Amino acid sequence: MHGMIRLSFTLDEGLAGRLEDLRQHRGYRNRSEFLRDALRDFLVKHSWQTSSNTVVGTVTLVYDHHTPGLTERLVQIQHDHHGKILASTHVHLDHDTCVEVIIVKGTASDLAALANSLQRERGVLHASMCTSTTGGELR
């Protein structure tokens, strides 16, 4: 556990006002906690831009399981990348549609490539990546 330090910096009035509006809109009562969360998000975004960093994320896939061969191809891709997949869950959303959420950990570039290889399969209606962190750079 690290100690806290106090920083002082200057913002122009427009930017300060927009940040204050957002702090209130998000329901933060503590300005420092609001700024800490904003800075953490900035650091996590940066970690995803450095391809060799180990990061954590989720890939959400929505697909039509009637598409010939799709289920098998999605399983095969995940087996090919088993070292990057921590867990996955599958929900039968309706008669035709499946939702799968895959929790992934690895380098930013490997995870982006994995998400792309899942997304480009025919029958995948939507794929999105949620980018998060192992937490290491935030302590």
Burial class (CB in 10 A: 0-12, 13-18, 19+), 59: buried
Q: Interface with Ni ion includes 66 (CB under 5 A)? A: no
Tell me the C-alpha distance between 75 and 62, whole Å: 14
Phi then psi dihedrals of residue 43, to 5 deg: -65, -40
User: Nearer Cβ to Ni ion, position 98 or 104?
Assistant: 98
User: Which C-beta is closer to Ni ion: that of 26 or that of 92?
Assistant: 92
Q: Which is nearer to Ni ion, 98 or 115 (CB)?
A: 98
Q: How far is the CB of 101 from Ni ion (least distance, A)?
A: 12
Residues 79-138 that bind Ni ion (CB under 5 A): 92, 98
Closest CB 65 distance from Ni ion, rounded Å: 5
> How far is Cα 41 from Cα 38, in angstroms, rounded to an integer?
5
Bridge partners (DSSP) of residue 130 are 58
What's the min distance (Å) between Cβ of 107 and Ni ion? 30
**Closest distance between Ni ion and the C-beta of residue 56, in Å?**
25
Q: Which is nearer to Ni ion, 18 or 92 (CB)?
A: 92
CB of 98 vs Ni ion, minimal distance in Å: 3
Give the three-state DSSP class for 69: coil
22 Cβ contact list (under 8 Å, min separation 6): 34
The residue whose Cβ lies closest to Ni ion is: 98
CA distance 137 to 139: 6
Q: How many residues bind Ni ion (CB under 5 A)?
A: 2
Residues making contact with Ni ion (CB under 5 A)? 92, 98
